[in-house]
Structure 1
Amino acid sequence: MVNATFEAGTPGLTKPASLPRWLVLLQGIVALALGILFLAYPVGTLVALIVFLGIYWLINGIFVLASLYSDRSDWGWKMFVGILGILGGILVLAYPLYSTILLPTLLAIIIGVEGLIIGAVQLARGLSGAGWGAGILGIVSIIFGLILIANTFIAALALVLVLAVLAIIGGIAAIIFALRMPA
């Protein structure tokens, strides 16, 4: 994520091109700042990010619909995505506090269901001869999936704290990487 390079086989490029040092440093500073804000003001920061998400969905929906004038391929899907983006953006911007609760909770439910599915698959693999390790991982995944689904609001709050810690760690790593990059 930090060291994006183009392959040497890319037409027009003779050597790999990496991101400029200042851009990696800026990415690290922004990630670190967001992580600190998430820890210090989790609700306020989450509301602000949800509002930005609503603005993004709204603008993206408008641009997808506008792109139909120049490119009519897959017009049905573009129309669907455009209208869905506009409606989602309007709903998030009209109800930012409800969206701040609803979107992380919905994400926790999706992750919980995914945990149940992965757990069931791993448990089935363990019982069919893949080993007791796969079975144990399946049971643990099912337990975590059930916990997330049973306590979605608490899981959503914990998700904010996990994102904060990951943003801080990623920001520090990007800053260190940028400072070690050649000038």
Structure 2
Amino acid sequence: MDAVLFSEIILMIEVLVHFVYQNYHLKTKGITVNCLTKGEKSEWVKLVEFWTKMSSSLCPLVLAISFFYHSFDLYTPNTFCQIFFLCILIFGVLFWNLAILTMNTNWRAGIDTTARTKLVTSGVYSYSRNPAFFGLFVQYISLALLNPNPLLLGFTVLSVVVLDLQTKEEEKHLTLSLGAEYTVYKDTTPRYILL
């Protein structure tokens, strides 16, 4: 099976699992997960969250275009590299999902200005303050290396920059809403693994 097609299937399964988790597990508990661009926020935060939403929404389209237009590829990874990048992609998918599951009812996409959630510092959150974003970075980068064309590489760079901006805005919000508890956590745990 073509490695790029396999990566598309992996991502479709990931989206389906996330959709089911979000809409059946959390929604039945009255939790609104998607807080992107919603609530009382500065225009800058809403802009960052808009581009975060666009990055997530456009990913399947960019991947589909990349899949059908291999003539734009900068190089073709050999079989070993394809298997390696697929393994890295699967790691990113698993890490992202583990981060979401560890957050449980505290999981939100975007800054939730209406509810006070508790700080989660166990599991993958003991290694990274933002393991979900780290998992997404790993996914985007592995996909770009698996299917190296200018469109996907540009989309990856843009997505990583936007998600990093989102991370910084969420950390500002957590510092304000959780105070010293978050500051101590921030001082002892890296933003991303090893960074």
| TM tier, smaller | under 0.3
Q: Specify which structure has the higher proportion of helix.
A: 1
Q: TM-score, normalised by structure 2?
A: 0.25
Whichever of the two has the greater Rg, that structure is: 1
